[in-house]
Structure 1
Amino acid sequence: MNVDQFDFDLPPARIALRPAAPRDAARLLVLDSDGTRDRTVADLPDALRPGDLLVFNDTRVIPAQLEGTRGAAKIGATLHKREGPRRWRAFIRNAKRLRDGDPIDFGAGVMAIASDRAEDGSFALDFAGDEPVELLLERAGRMPLPPYIAAKRPLDARDAQDYQTMFAREAGAVAAPTAALHFTPALMAALDAAGIGHATLTLHVGAGTFLPVKAADTDDHQMHAEWGRIDQATADRLNAVRRDGGRIIAVGTTSLRLIESAAGEDRVVRPFEGDTSIFITPGYRFRGIDGLLTNFHLPRSTLFMLVSALMGLDRMQAAYAHAVQSEYRFYSYGDASLLLP
């Protein structure tokens, strides 16, 4: 499909720079068979049915943004995928000043050797020393705020809390599964009281999620791989919910993509562990999920293509036009939509 079909006008003022407070006070645009309705995230127990299951991504964002030097040259690195115990693939700023074998000093006693430059301009970084890389990143790294927020204001202490979900346990993401940022203990208690369950899986979100689609046709776009895991118990639970007439509602596109990667043509979800680079565009037949709760996405992005595949391009264009006119807040710290085809 032509990528231009997924474009829309978004005023810069609609980009949220801070999350709602409390988190579940964010607005919620509900799209289902009854039409389109304006609600809040706190209303979610009334928008779902007893027996439904929400599936959250329990990945935890690491301080994956690094600033360093190679000689006199300033080098920026954004880690996006782990390739070994001490090796990360990273997108590099000022990459023209970097060659295979060059050392980068990130300060605080943190050094890495660059190698294996890829076609997308990324490098492999091998971190020196014996300390766990996680400790090195805690010393030298920063929270990797999305570029559309970082370009408008500096990172501050609030972001260390604001950019983690209440489910964050498995360290490894370089971007938050932002749909889950809306959830609070109070909302989870209300969902439980309404008979709506929840489960978790792990998909370590990579920085590739922010890369623009440069191809003119969706067939020519290459997705970056991300590592994920669904264990046997979680797969069994998802399948049991479906058998009992409940719906699987993915919280966030990361949860959705992993479930779809693990689901077969028979719509059975199986245990999964490994990389996925699934790219969902209109025409895709969903096998593992029945609905999606997600934030509002960038024009021409792979994530807007995904929601258009779920609900139809014309309907999503109309919904986003309504959201812009109604002053919904967009992107990572913005409002949410509940999509029930």
Structure 2
Amino acid sequence: MKLQDFNYHLPKSLVAQEASFPRDSSRLLVLWRENGNMEHRRFSELPDFLRKGDVVVLNNTKVIPARLKGKKRKTGGRAQILLLERKKEALWSCLLKPARRLKVGAEIYFPGANLKAVVRGRNGENQHLIEFEPSEGLEEIITQIGEVPLPPYIKREKGPTSEDVTAYQTVYARHEGAVAAPTAGLHFTSSLLKEIEKRAIDVVEITLHTGWASFKSLDKPEIEENEIPREYFRISPSAASRINEARRKGGRVVAVGTTTTRALETRAARSGEVSAGEGWTSLFIYPGYEFRLVDALITNFHMPRSSLLLLACAFVGRKKLMAVYKEAIENHYRFLSFGDAMLII
């Protein structure tokens, strides 16, 4: 299967630079899988498309200030670290800039902070391993000097604003570990969640720490030759029980986002039940994949040729999804992280 078949032209003007306020004022394009029909709504109208007995599954990961800006010890030149995964107490895998000029042993310091990062080696094709010194109080220092890791297509001359810090976090974020927001969840407000629960629709939380898998480019022309990096997830026994109970009673499993979908499908059995568990998943979902658990999907509009787009195509079919994207572009929907949403049912 050719990756090029999942390309489309995304006008720069449609890449959202600011989050919607209030969150649920964003637009919602509803797609009916059975016949390809579409409806243009607001996200605040989401409850109208849910049914009593459904279960809405959220990813409650919390974005950490994963982007650190420092200087190279030898030259004083600028250096940037994007933290990806903690390996040990002070050892992290990361993306470095400028990667080619930061060799093993290179040191990065952070003006005004009692902290340095030492490059210890490579971790795969594009990642590096860095070790922070000293390790004492590391999390507190990272919180102080780190920035919210906004995607590069969201332009900020002076870095993320205080509004960005709030907007790039879901209202139900609980467990720190993500280096990118689970963006489908950004549209929910506390009042909208209460309205959903009022309608006898269960709202369940699981965790998948959104990592490099959510924004790494696919670089091989044949889709099947690509792999995505692993991400940590956890589904509690209580969450699994509530999801399975809803399913047994005829309710639909409504996954909020591609991260939630990948976690659920990782633990889904052929019987359509999900089991509790935690660990790492590198499940790569693309057309041809048979979904075992997820019945409906809430997701944003994604980059061309991305693994996120491929997952959405797997759920509804490439032709239908490309027709939706054409409709969204013609109607000036806002795309990517701070953009609008779609509901596939």
Q: Classify the TM-score, shorter chain.
A: over 0.9
Structure 2 equivalent of residue 117 of structure 1: 122
Out of 230, 243, 246, the position equivalent to 2:248 is 243
Q: How many Å apart are 1:102 and its aligned residue?
A: 2.4
Greater Cα offset, 178-187 or 99-108: 99-108
Paired letter, 2:7: D
> 2:90 matched to 1:86?
yes
* Maintained 8 Å contact 2:24/2:44: yes
* Maintained 8 Å contact 1:110/1:140: no
Paired letter, 1:337: M
Deviation string 1:102-161 (CA, Å, 9 cap, x unpaired) is: 222133122122113134221111121243432121122111001111478842121111
Separation in structure 2 between the aligned mates of residue 269 and residue 30 of structure 1, nearest angstrom? 26
Separation in structure 2 between the aligned mates of residue 28 and residue 336 of structure 1, nearest angstrom? 5
Out of 294, 316, 332, the position equivalent to 1:327 is 332
Structure 2 equivalent of residue 14 of structure 1: 14
Equivalent positions of 1:1-341 (< 5 A) are 1-32=1-32, 33=34, 35-70=37-72, 71-72=74-75, 73-107=77-111, 108-150=113-155, 154-340=159-345
Deviation string 1:309-335 (CA, Å, 9 cap, x unpaired) is: 000000000000000001111011010
Paired letter, 2:154: I
* Maintained 8 Å contact 1:79/1:207: no
Paired letter, 1:23: R
* Maintained 8 Å contact 1:80/1:208: no
Please, what TM-score do these two structures have when normalized by structure 2?
0.95
* Maintained 8 Å contact 1:50/1:196: yes
Q: 1:207 to 1:151 in 2, by over 3 A?
A: farther
Greater Cα offset, 329-338 or 262-271: 262-271
Greater Cα offset, 199-208 or 327-336: 199-208
SS at match of 2:177: strand
Paired letter, 1:46: D
SS at match of 1:147: coil
Separation in structure 2 between the aligned mates of residue 261 and residue 133 of structure 1, nearest angstrom? 32
Paired letter, 1:284: Y
Paired letter, 1:50: K
Q: 1:210 to 1:153 in 2, by over 3 A?
A: farther
Deviation string 1:36-87 (CA, Å, 9 cap, x unpaired) is: 1111111111111111111111111111001122221422111112222222
**Alignment RMSD:** 1.4
Separation in structure 1 between the aligned mates of residue 270 and residue 296 of structure 2, nearest angstrom? 18
Unaligned runs of 5+ in 1: none
Separation in structure 2 between the aligned mates of residue 131 and residue 169 of structure 1, nearest angstrom? 24
Q: How many Å apart are 1:228 and its aligned residue?
A: 0.7
Q: 1:264 to 1:132 in 2, by over 3 A?
A: farther
Separation in structure 1 between the aligned mates of residue 312 and residue 251 of structure 2, nearest angstrom? 21
SS at match of 1:160: helix
SS at match of 1:238: helix
* Maintained 8 Å contact 2:93/2:123: no
* Identical counterparts, % of pairs: 39
Separation in structure 2 between the aligned mates of residue 77 and residue 300 of structure 1, nearest angstrom? 26
SS at match of 1:116: strand
SS at match of 2:154: helix
Separation in structure 2 between the aligned mates of residue 81 and residue 141 of structure 1, nearest angstrom? 15
Greater Cα offset, 305-314 or 94-103: 94-103
Separation in structure 2 between the aligned mates of residue 179 and residue 219 of structure 1, nearest angstrom? 26
Q: How many Å apart are 1:275 and its aligned residue?
A: 0.8
Q: How many Å apart are 1:188 and its aligned residue?
A: 1.2
Separation in structure 2 between the aligned mates of residue 207 and residue 134 of structure 1, nearest angstrom? 20
SS at match of 1:39: strand
* Maintained 8 Å contact 1:58/1:202: yes
Separation in structure 2 between the aligned mates of residue 134 and residue 247 of structure 1, nearest angstrom? 39
Greater Cα offset, 189-198 or 314-323: 189-198
Greater Cα offset, 47-56 or 110-119: 110-119
Paired letter, 2:299: T
Q: How many residues in Structure 1 have an aligned counterpart in Structure 2?
A: 340
Separation in structure 2 between the aligned mates of residue 226 and residue 133 of structure 1, nearest angstrom? 22
